[in-house]
A and B are shown apart, each in its own frame.
Chain A
Amino acid sequence: MYQVGNLVKELSDKHGRLRESLMPILQEIVQKHNYLTDEAMVEVARELDISAAEVYGTASFYTFLDTQVKGKYVIRVCKTITCSMKGKSDIIQTLEEMLKIKVGETTADKQFSLIETNCIGWCHKAPAILINEMPYTELTPEKVSEIIKDYMQK
Chain B
Amino acid sequence: MEKKGLNKVDLIFEKIEPKEVLIKAFKMTSAEIIQNILESGLKGRGGAGFPTGLKWKYTAAEKSSEKYIICNADEGEPGTFKDREILDRVSNKVHGGMAIAGKAIGAKNGIVYLRGEYRYLLPKLMIELESFHKMIKEIGYEFNIEYRMGSGAYICGEESALFESIEGKRGEPRNKPPYPTVSGLFEKPTSINNVETLVTAMMILQHGAKNFIQYGTKDSRGSKVFSVSGDTPTPGIFELELGMTVQQFVNEFGDGDTKAVQVGGASGFCVPRKKFAETIIGFEGVPTGGSMKLFNSSRSMYNVLHNYLEFFTEESCGQCTPCRVGCQQLLLGVEKVKKGEAKSTYLTELVKLADTMKIAAKCGLGQSVGNAFKSIVGNFREEIIY
Interface residues of A (CB under 8 A from B): 18-24, 26-27, 30, 57-58, 61-65, 79-82, 84-85, 117-126, 130, 133-135
CB distance from A43 to the nearest CB of B (A): 16
Nearest CB in chain B to that of A28: its residue: B149
Other A-B pairs beyond A19-B169, A82-B229, 9, CB < 8 Å:
A23-B149, A27-B149, A61-B170, A63-B153, A117-B152, A118-B314, A121-B80, A123-B79, A124-B235
CB distance from B377 to the nearest CB of A (A): 16
Which of B111-119, B197-205, B362-370 forms part of the interface with chain A? B111-119
**Residues of chain A within 8 A of B177, CB atoms compared:** none
> Could you tell me if A135 and B120 are in contact, using CB atoms closer than 8 angstroms?
yes
> Could you tell me if B78 and A119 are in contact, using CB atoms closer than 8 angstroms?
yes
- Does B237 reach chain A (CB closer than 8 Å)? yes
Nearest CB in chain B to that of A126: its residue: B229
> Could you tell me if A124 and B228 are in contact, using CB atoms closer than 8 angstroms?
yes
In the bound complex, CA of A118 to CA of B119 (Å):
16
Nearest CB in chain B to that of A60: its residue: B170
Some 19 contacts from A to B, beta carbons below 8 A apart, are A19-B168, A19-B169, A23-B148, A23-B151, A58-B169, A61-B170, A62-B116, A62-B152, A64-B116, A79-B307, A80-B307, A80-B311, A81-B78, A81-B79, A85-B299, A118-B152, A121-B118, A124-B81, A124-B229
Nearest CB in chain B to that of A31: its residue: B119
> Could you tell me if B170 and A58 are in contact, using CB atoms closer than 8 angstroms?
yes
Interface residues of B (CB under 8 A from A): 75-81, 84, 115-120, 148-154, 165-171, 227-231, 235-237, 266, 293, 299, 303-304, 307-308, 311, 314-315, 317
> Could you tell me if B230 and A85 are in contact, using CB atoms closer than 8 angstroms?
yes
> Could you tell me if B148 and A118 are in contact, using CB atoms closer than 8 angstroms?
no
In the bound complex, CA of A38 to CA of B168 (Å):
18
Q: A64-B152, A124-B236, A134-B120 are in contact. Are A81 and B81 (CB under 8 A)?
A: no
> Could you tell me if A20 and B230 are in contact, using CB atoms closer than 8 angstroms?
no
Nearest CB in chain A to that of B149: its residue: A27
CB distance from B332 to the nearest CB of A (A): 19
> Could you tell me if A81 and B308 are in contact, using CB atoms closer than 8 angstroms?
yes
> Could you tell me if B151 and A63 are in contact, using CB atoms closer than 8 angstroms?
yes
Between B76, B151, B170, the greatest number of chain A beta carbons within 10 A of the residue's beta carbon is seen for B151
> Could you tell me if A118 and B151 are in contact, using CB atoms closer than 8 angstroms?
no
